[in-house]
Chain A
Amino acid sequence: NNKVDFSYNQLADPNFSFYDNTLVEAVKSEDHLVYLFFLCLSLCHTVMSEEKVEGELVYQAQSPDEGALVTATRNFGFVFCSRTSETITVIEMGKTRVYQLLAILDFSNERKRMSVVVRTPENRVMLFCKGADTIICELLHPSCASLSDVTMDHLDDFASEGLRTLMIAYRELDNAFFQTWIKKHSEACLTLEDRERKLAMVYEEVERDLMLLGATAIEDKLQSGVPETIVTLSKAKIKVWVLTGDKQETAVNIAYSCRIFKDEMDGVFIVEGTDRETVLQELRTARYKMKPESLLESDPINICLARKPKMPIRVLDEIPNGNYGLVISGYSLAYALEGNMELELVRTACMCKGVICCRMTPLQKAQVVDLVKRYKKVVTLAIGDGANDIGMIKGIGHEGMQAMLSSDFAFCRFRYLQRLLLVHGRWSYSRMCKFLSYFFYKNFAFTLVHFWYAFFNGFSAQTVYDTWFITCYNMIYTSLPVLGLSLFEKDVNETWSLCYPELYEPGQHNLYFNKKEFIKGLMHGIYSSFVLFFVPMGTIFNSERSDGKDISDFQSFSLLVQTTLIWVMTMQIALRTNSWTLISHTFTWGSLGLYFCVLFFLYSDGLCLRFPSTFHFLGVARNNLSQPQMWLCLVLSTVLCMIPVIGYNFLKPLLWPVNVDKVLNRIHFCLKHPLPPPVQTKVKHPGLRRSAYAFSHKQGFGDLITSGKTLKSSAFMKKQEVL
């Protein structure tokens, strides 16, 4: 196939390539319908043109589709030149013609179409309409029936290739009819109450008996790495739901090409009922097929529901008997989201591997996200690119701001998501959990020593430590190692966490820090404080130095306990550190060194004599740290505090293995026996990259144009909705 030569057209966009010569021939032969088809495309849009440099037209389109269509039209010789609020200038095959813009019947999510009414230079009033096929074909004049059938076949073909389709139609308006209509239109425009509805009614009056001109289909290249990313995410047990405004066929197609649906699936349920009962029946049938016992009264969830029907409940995960997919359309979803059907929807949908909701309104997207959050108590990640995804991202139904402004993260490729979640998200989670549990532990161990000491000091609230130690403990002595841990800790490196998405799972189940882990930290803290108090106590009880002088004084005891504490904490953080960088070494051992430096400074003669009522511990460090029993006590306590941790870490994966342990085991095995690391298998996807997206037009631009204000461009890249 050769590229079409657009050299006959001076204004053609050189970047545009087209491969079908028959269409060009049709244009050149000045076929009337082809003429109208392109005329419609060059008139019926909300694109703004700009001529920054003489002779170079630049289009600014609010949706990339419109931009693409107007650019294509331009290449075929119907160049949209400029517009004012009342006129549109088009160069038709070299001839400049000015059309009077009489009305723009703007796009809206409900109407799913837009029309313009223009007066041609020949003084004919024409209405040009483009819109979603389902809508347009209902508005067609009966005489177009045969053409419509052919077109519908074509549209099905297009949709199955994942193309985004539009239908184009026109109607010539009788002048008298138009005059009465435009009056009604301006009245409706000026109404203060219920303006939207009245306008819609006025629009419907004129948008009927349309003559079909044809259809367009636009291919959007799927970003690279989308199927791979989705496969990786689903391996990480992240369930992907597609919420889209697309046609069902398009959506299902995308789902297959993105590997959300797979050919080897046991079945795909399609819910497309148009009334309550049918939808309910369809959902139940699907669930019966996946897990027959879930419909019985003896099912635990049913029992639970029967007991407290109105409570906000958490629906537990149910295991289906295979891999299934679910497709539900917006119409059916409207019923499924009604009060008592919600639960049916959640239970059925959550058993499926992939869920596609198509033909959705933005509000429904938000509702679905909210539904899952409410019943499953899970973390949801809403990804979208356009204004109609904002509601879903924010969880509430407000539109109007850019998606990026309301999002937490913005990035320019879908495939970056896997690195964001599996590498950075995972690191961040494990670091945060390690930080938290260590922080609780170190303060439990630090504080609870006083509990034991209270029994030996007459419950007089005597602190075990030197006041300066208490001041410095959290801020100076133990802050840097845990900071280093929470900045640089990696239990496995990025290659492995991308190779084994299963490693992401603990975060989903909150395994690294939860009530149980907190209690574990508390118990460990209690144990450590017990060791930290009683071992030094036993050591100094009635004990003397090797020169006979006693060292059972309070200050020596303080010093012993606090030095032991610092050692224990250092060893504990060392045990929790998996990856030792230069910084971890510096922070961990440096903090320990810093402790001794600060200690000798605070207990030095000069400082204590200069401020005798502030620094009381003169000479304690020198007198005690030279004693062997002090170091023996220190080693003993440190080892006693480490034994249970090492033992637990050793025994836990053997006795109570979770998936992650097995994966880690395998990784460590691979590291020890340096086989070539498993190459990440590329997911095979069809050579033709197909994609189709929601009808991405937005409301309000028509008003903007007729009001004469400048249209600001807003370019949105891509869209994929994943839940």
Chain B
Amino acid sequence: MTWSASARGAHQPDNTAFTQQRLPAWQPLLSAGITLPLFFCAGLAFIGLGLGLFYSSNGIKELEYDYTGNPGTGNCSLCAAEGQGRAPPPNCSCAWYFSLPELFPGPVYLYYELSNFYQNNRRYGVSRDDAQLSGLASALRHPANECAPYQYSATGLPIAPCGAIANSLFNDSFSLWHQRQPGGSYVEVPLDRTAIAWWTDYHVKFRNPPLVNGSLALAFRGTAPPPNWHRPVYELSPDPNNTGFINQDFVVWMRTAALPTFRKLYARIRQGNYSAGLPRGAYRVNITYNYPVSAFGGHKLIILSNISWMGGKNPFLGIAYLVVGSLCILMGFVMLVVYIRYQDQDDDDNDDE
């Protein structure tokens, strides 16, 4: 339809490619010649990638121990039984003995894992005050309402750090001992407890309130620790760079998990003789058993693991890639068969017409 410029009506749109919808367009078509090779290539690529992922995940060594203390599962059951129904639970120690027949290649990481612990529960997840944790003095004295009922202590003091997440801070502690020769003495393996939190969390997101007269304790004066804590937040660690809100254990804990079973980094083993990994020999993990999990049917695990280029042991991606790759190829074959079978029929139809 051509319109002469002189005959244009008042409401007639401009005769441009845009308004008249004549923009040059690329019309790709997923024809058989493209779709089928695409499926086969994608399938092969996925299988290749899947194999790589699967083997690198399989190459990762992992050692785990459930120290929840269900009856008859080792010496932690005593602690579990002792803590049954008592709040706060008494101090109790137990140990996990294991031996390595060969070198556990490093760097080795020590994790704890909790299960059936719903850190992703909505009401639990919001029960924190990020303003307070970012070191705002005003927020320190006036915790956010989301923190209730862990907003103010029984005596009316603001709780720092407030909220249910902080209140439920994981407080078991571990130490690792190595026995080089059978019957020999145990030597403590140095655990690096720094740099276990995200760099951004430790350096940017979490900050202590401004010091008062150079003292963190004074800065926190007039606040109460969460009810479950035995010591105030500024005494979490003697290291001034690792105490208060920037205590790494605390920071790690405050990054709440997405799923009810989760593991968190406890320490890295990378110092001294152990930088290349854990040499063969017998080991003992001393566990300070404080954290009650039997009330909610949870489990506590301790895990030693090393990692590869794509992180920790997680066979899911490798298997998923293998499955999807095979699916692509299978689907490609089905489509090929259908195409050959019905394409002829189509041609016949066209000829008939």
Which residues does A use to contact B, with CB under 8 Å? Answer: 419, 456-458, 460-463, 488, 490, 535, 537-558, 578-584, 605, 608-609, 612-613, 616, 618-619, 622-623, 627-629, 632-633, 636, 639-640, 643, 646-647, 649-651, 654-655, 657, 662, 665-666, 668, 671-672
Question: What residues of chain A lie closer than 8 Å to B320, measured between beta carbons?
Answer: 535, 538, 636
Given contacts A541-B316, A550-B263, A662-B349, contact A579 B324 (CB under 8 A): no
CB pairs A–B below 8 angstroms (25 shown): A456-B260, A457-B122, A458-B120, A458-B121, A460-B118, A460-B122, A539-B316, A541-B261, A544-B263, A544-B311, A545-B311, A548-B265, A550-B111, A554-B125, A578-B27, A579-B27, A580-B28, A582-B23, A619-B199, A623-B198, A628-B309, A632-B310, A636-B317, A647-B331, A668-B31
Determine whether B288 belongs to the interface, using a CB cutoff of 8 Å to chain A.
Answer: no
Flag if A613 contacts B312 (CB, 8 Å): no
Flag if B314 contacts A629 (CB, 8 Å): yes
Flag if B29 contacts A668 (CB, 8 Å): yes
Question: What residues of chain A lie closer than 8 Å to B122, measured between beta carbons?
Answer: 457, 460-463
Question: What residues of chain B lie closer than 8 Å to A655, measured between beta carbons?
Answer: 338, 342
Flag if B121 contacts A618 (CB, 8 Å): no
A419, A543, A623: the one contacting B200 at CB < 8 Å is A623
Q: A449: shortest Cβ distance to chain B, in Å?
A: 12
Q: A597: shortest Cβ distance to chain B, in Å?
A: 19
Determine whether B256 belongs to the interface, using a CB cutoff of 8 Å to chain A.
Answer: yes
Q: B287: shortest Cβ distance to chain A, in Å?
A: 20
9 closest A-B pairs by CB: A619-B200, A544-B312, A557-B258, A538-B316, A579-B25, A581-B23, A460-B122, A462-B122, A548-B109
Chain B 334-353: CB-based contact to A (< 8 A → 1; otherwise 0)? 01001100110010011000
Given contacts A488-B23, A490-B25, A537-B259, contact A619 B205 (CB under 8 A): yes
Determine whether B249 belongs to the interface, using a CB cutoff of 8 Å to chain A.
Answer: no
What CA separation (Å) do A553 and B196 show in the bound complex?
Answer: 14
Determine whether B255 belongs to the interface, using a CB cutoff of 8 Å to chain A.
Answer: yes
Q: A674: shortest Cβ distance to chain B, in Å?
A: 14
Of the candidate stretches B75-83, B127-135, B276-284, the one touching chain A is B127-135
What CA separation (Å) do A666 and B123 show in the bound complex?
Answer: 60
Which residues does B use to contact A, with CB under 8 Å? Answer: 1, 21, 23-32, 35, 38-39, 42, 46, 49, 53, 107, 109, 111, 113, 118-125, 129-131, 133-134, 136, 139, 144, 196-201, 204-205, 252, 255-265, 268, 305, 307-312, 314, 316-317, 320-321, 324, 327-328, 331, 335, 338-339, 342-343, 346, 349-350
Told that A544-B305, A639-B46 touch, could you supply 17 new A-B pairs with CB distance under 8 A?
A: A456-B259, A461-B122, A462-B120, A462-B125, A488-B23, A541-B261, A546-B310, A548-B312, A550-B262, A551-B311, A552-B263, A580-B27, A609-B134, A613-B129, A613-B144, A639-B324, A671-B27
Central interface residue in A549, A581, A629, by most chain B CB within 10 Å: A549
A-B interface pairs (CB < 8 A), number: 215
CB-CB nearest in chain A for B303: A542
Given contacts A636-B320, A639-B324, contact A627 B311 (CB under 8 A): yes
Question: What residues of chain A lie closer than 8 Å to B198, measured between beta carbons?
Answer: 549, 619, 623
What CA separation (Å) do A609 and B201 show in the bound complex?
Answer: 12
Given contacts A550-B111, A554-B120, A640-B324, contact A540 B307 (CB under 8 A): no
Question: What residues of chain A lie closer than 8 Å to B107, measured between beta carbons?
Answer: 548
What CA separation (Å) do A551 and B125 show in the bound complex?
Answer: 16
Flag if B23 contacts A544 (CB, 8 Å): no
